[in-house]
Structure 1
Amino acid sequence: MTDQARRAELERSLGAVRERVSRACEAAGRDPAEVTLVAVTKFFPASDVDLLAELGVTDIGENRDQEVSAKLRDVARRQDLRVHFIGQLQSKKATSVVRYADVVQSVDRPKLVTSLESAAGSAGRVLDVLVQVNLDEARGRGGVAPQDAVELAGLVGGGEHLRLRGVMAVAPLGADPAPAFARLREVAGAVREVAPGATWISAGMSGDLEEAIAHGATHLRVGSAILGTRQPHR
């Protein structure tokens, strides 16, 4: 596929997603400007990232440290993008991730908070983070239990080099996402009581972004609906 054809493909799919966001916001009585689209570019090349930046995407999401750290070296428009690390993160990878990530959405345990605080301090920067909440404990996904989210948020807020932005979660697989997103909204409200600036709610992906918007999501992590289901051949 040529770059021109790929750009046209991305423009169409991105336009369709933006239209879905607009319609969902209208149904929820919300302003679309309140919602940030995070294009999940894992498994896709740097050229796609640059094309998305040309099309007005400001935020991208990645979840594999080795892949993204190499990819970003080839992204010409890196300065135009906010990079969100959205995958499960080992504490030993904190130093590497802090070198390139603007946001870490998957903070789910005290040890990781300590590692990120140390790495950000060594790098002389402040890192935006979200507390990941586990809404599906039976499936063993990452995230802190909802009842423990406020405590973990307080630990983040006690650091000098981490800035608590809010909460993140993934809806349970194969179930109605609405109850999970409603629960996340409750957790987000509890976190804001102790950290008023933590206003982000990262929820919703390609298949459930409408439900996420209806329950207050401020950030959507959308991959396949924008980029397709597999890396395009070059």
Structure 2
Amino acid sequence: MSGRRDELAGNLAQVRARIADAAGRAGRSPEEVTLTVVTKFFPASDVRLLADLGVRHVGENRHQEAEAKAAECADLGLTWHFIGGLQSNKAAAVAAYADVVESVDRAKLLRGLSSGAHQRDHVVDVLVQVSLDTDPGDGGRAGVPPVDVERLAEQVAATEGLRLRGVMAVAPLGEDPLPAFAKLAEIAASVRSIEPSATWISAGMSGDLEAAVESGATHVRIGSAVLGSRPARR
């Protein structure tokens, strides 16, 4: 276990250095950027090691795995982010353990999320997932089209038990992420006009975190750069 801990510690140091370098180039403090480590397919034992190494935010994108892992690690006091595609019939169950739901891309999810938040007696932070694909009909990333973001943001803000925090997006496949993340920053500004406290911008993964941080991301979602190659699906 000490070998795995050392591996994670080294990887975390490298990722934190990358964040700090990118923030420095943008004239920002690295403290402005929250590192969320995505532990999909990795065991709860890794989550415990990460917590011991100072990680406070953990991301998951499969409901069953996330639910079980959050329960197993409930004593750690972590902030759990759900970042995967969300089915409306699973929304209440996700809100029962997730502190942050980053993948809200349609109003149909809000009723279930609100119900789960009430059952838990806990306000759930919500990000509107934005599609940055230039051709969204071509099997691209999930998310609401930019033209519809403000309307969905208003609906989130009006839903009891939910707190609009900002926006999330994934860079389009095979394209320079910088223009996409610059566009996301503009969309984020329009969301702040609806709710001034909705200041979060979740963008950037292992391969493009620098572009995200330089474009104003407040949260980055990092998997393989911290945990290594993803194990086979269990």
TM-score (norm 2): 0.95
- For the Cα contact (< 8 Å) 2:205–2:223, is it kept in 1? yes
1:191 match: 191
Write the distance in 2 (CA, Å) between the matches of 1:231 and 1:78: 24
- For the Cα contact (< 8 Å) 1:157–1:195, is it kept in 2? yes
RMSD, aligned α-carbons: 1.3
Letter in 1 for 2:58: I
Write the distance in 2 (CA, Å) between the matches of 1:140 and 1:207: 18
Gaps of 5+ in 2: none
- For the Cα contact (< 8 Å) 1:87–1:106, is it kept in 2? yes
Give the superposition deviation at 1:77.
4.3
Give the superposition deviation at 1:140.
3.3
Write the distance in 1 (CA, Å) between the matches of 2:119 and 2:71: 22
2:92 match: 95
Deviations 1:158-207 (A, max 9, x none): 11210000000000011100111011001000000111010000000000
Write the distance in 2 (CA, Å) between the matches of 1:47 and 1:84: 18
1:111 match: 108
Give the superposition deviation at 1:76.
6.2
- For the Cα contact (< 8 Å) 2:92–2:114, is it kept in 1? no
Report the number of matched residues: 229
Letter in 1 for 2:91: A
1:137-152 matches, within 5 Å, as 137=136, 138-152=138-152
Q: 2:129 matched to 1:132? A: yes
- For the Cα contact (< 8 Å) 1:168–1:201, is it kept in 2? yes
- For the Cα contact (< 8 Å) 2:107–2:152, is it kept in 1? yes
3-state secondary structure, aligned to 1:194: coil
2:7 match: 9
Greater Cα shift, 121-130 or 167-176: 121-130
2:208 match: 208
Give the superposition deviation at 1:98.
1.3
Gaps of 5+ in 1: none
3-state secondary structure, aligned to 2:86: coil
3-state secondary structure, aligned to 1:139: coil
2:225 match: 225
2:60 match: 62
